[in-house]
Amino acid sequence: METIAMYLLVTFVAGLLAIALRLPPLVGFLAAGFILNASGVERLPEISGIAHLGVTLLLFAVGLKLELRNLLRREAWLTATVHMAASVAAGLALLLVLSLVGFSLLAGWTWTTLAVIAFALSFSSTVLVVKVLAERGETQALYGRIAISVLIIQDIAAVVFIGIATGTAPSPWAALLVLLVPLAWVLRRIWDRIGHDELQLLFGIVVAIVPGYVAFESVGLRGDLGAVVVGMLLASHPSAGELAQDLFGLKELLLIAFFVSIGLEGLPTAENLAVAVLLQLLLPVNGFGYALLLWLQRLRHRTAVMAALSLTNHSEFALIVVVMGVEAGLLDEDWTLVISMAVALSFVISTLVNRHAPALAPWLQAHLPHRPPERLNPIDRPIDIADAEAIVLGMGRTGSGAYQALTEEYGLRVIGIDADDQVVLEHRRDGWDVREGDATDDDFWDRVTSHSHIRLAILAMPLHEVNLYALDRLRRSGFTGVVGSLAQYDDDVDELRERGADAVFHLYGDVGSALATEVAREAGLMEEE
């Protein structure tokens, strides 16, 4: 218990110091691993299992929000495959330069040695990217869906590589995984009877681990890929979004173990650290490659840049590749420490860059050639709201209620906007005019053909920061109509009013008041008007 207490204390203090230095807590968690390693504290064997559980739940939650058709889009598979080849070439070039400088790690190199290292550095981190997107609430934004699809295709390539490198193919029993399709139907029926309490959370954990992680690992495939697949098979259930939200806090806590475990790999020498730092030179090259490939597929500047910034990091998969290379005698053991440090440094850089991504994006966009709107990819073209009198941003339960009231009770022509294409499709089936778009996108209002005729806008997105950002961007665009917003806390209400919201609905306080009014009316306590 003393060892566990030491791990918790060091990790908490390191995270607290990171916040004090205006850095993300993740940076502190990475540092905690190196501090614990340097202090000689006994390594907890359970830390690896906890880390794997956190990653599994993270990817299962991703699967709950992902559709197979996103993987089949050219923007995903073409970007992933071409970028991987280009990234390996760039990695080989950098490693050749480092060998000429005289680093002993690269003495007596062979092309096989360099290829293994370059391949290891060609992947982006699924864990980090999904975490960054989730913190911004943009896993369902267009650029977020593209980034996640690219990551899953990279995971599939990783499965193939492991099979080739180890000389083993997946077990013949892997063919039985097709039974997951009818099993998913059974699981959805069971899910219907569970309800919305802690049993639903336990259900999610069980299906992520058993038919997901364990089933895939047992037939020679990657367990985390299995978690994504099972999540995708259950994504059509009405409570999929709710379960993903329920898993959020738990997986965030468990993922701390993942980041701490990276630092526990060992302490690098001065040369190890120097090589790890120099390997970060691949990050801007890889980032530019992602942005260029997405732009060439006729996506908007911001979509290409935001996806590229999210994907600009090294992957934890690099550690697996290097360990396999060491076991095969292709690499020196020191490369395990070098790649561990390189991955940790890339996490720090990527986290800091993505914290300021909305501000960096316009500057980076300026370096991409202009393309007329009519030549853009159809999934990323301007949004025409010329016929609307009102607009609702965020078409969840609250936004849907607002849309219905404005159309049915007040007779307004309303357009709804949501970043989740699945939500958009569901509302369109009901005959509602709902368009796909990211209201926090700096280009969003530039994509709108005109909003001078719109009388009112409602901000009904779930996160206060997102509503606040949209409010600021809306006012800066010259919008003069009435703006109403949703808020969860008293401080949120005050801040929204100060920033220009004309009406703010307090999710908790105002609901109670509205409920009391409705009950009083039904009980005959209110005078008829």
pLDDT at 489: 79
What is the mean predicted confidence (pLDDT) over 72-78? 87
Return the axis-axis angle of helices 25-38 and 334-355, rounded to nearest 10°: 160
pLDDT at 473: 79
User: Which of residues 444 and 118 earns the better pLDDT score?
Assistant: 118
Contact 439/472 with Cβ under 8 angstroms?
no
Q: Which amino acid is at 20?
A: A
For residue 207, give every residue at least 6 positions away whose Cβ sits within 8 Å of its Cβ, in sequence order, or none: 60, 187, 230, 234
Give DSSP secondary structure letters for 53-88.
HHHHHHHHHHHTT--HHHHTSHHHHHHHHHHHHHHH
| Distance, CA of 521 to CA of 199 (rounded, Å) | 37
Q: What is the CATH number of domain 45-365?
A: 1.20.1530.20
Res. 528: pLDDT tops 60: no
Average pLDDT of every residue of the chain: 83
List of residues 6+ apart from 144 with CB closer than 8 A: 133, 138, 307, 310
Residue found by looking up tokens 């003495």 in the block: 107
Using one digit for the tens of pLDDT, what is the confidence trace for 437-490?
A: 777 665 666 667 666 678 889 998 877 878 888 888 788 777 888 999 988 777
pLDDT digit string, tens, across residues 145-156: 899 889 888 877
Length of the chain: 529
Q: List, for residues 280-329, the tens digit of each pLDDT value.
A: 999 999 999 999 999 899 888 888 888 999 999 998 778 777 877 777 77
Per-residue confidence (pLDDT) for residue 166, from 0 to 100: 56
Strand order in the sheet with 482-487: 434-436, 414-418, 390-393, 456-459, 482-487, 503-506
Is residue 270's pLDDT more than 90? no
Residue 446 Cα distances to 238, 306, 382, 388, angstroms: 34, 17, 8, 16
pLDDT bin (cut points 50, 70, 90) of residue 232 is confident
**Residue 509: predicted pLDDT:** 65
Of 37-41, 68-72, 243-247, 438-442, where does mean pLDDT reach its minimum? 438-442
Can you tell me the mean pLDDT for 338-348? 86
Chain centroid, CA 292 distance in Å: 21
| Percent of the chain's residues with pLDDT above 90 | 18
Cα-trace Rg, the chain: 25
- Eight-class DSSP state of 313: S
CA–CA gap between residue 471 and residue 476 (Å, rounded): 9
Distance CA 361, CA 287 (A): 12
Helix axes 301-311, 334-355, angle to 10 degrees: 140
Residue 526's pLDDT band (cuts 50, 70, 90): low
- Domain 382-522 sits in CATH at 3.40.50.720
So what's the pLDDT on residue 159?
65
Is 90 exceeded by the pLDDT of residue 268? no
pLDDT over 70 (residue 168) = no
Q: Where are the domains of the chain?
A: 1-39, 45-365, 382-522
Q: What number of other Cβ atoms are within 10 A of residue 182's Cβ?
A: 9
Of 442, 441, 443, 445, nearest in space to 457 by CA: 445
pLDDT digits (tens, 9 = 90+) for 181-230: 999 999 999 998 887 778 888 998 999 999 988 998 888 887 877 888 89
What per-residue confidence (pLDDT) applies to 118? 93
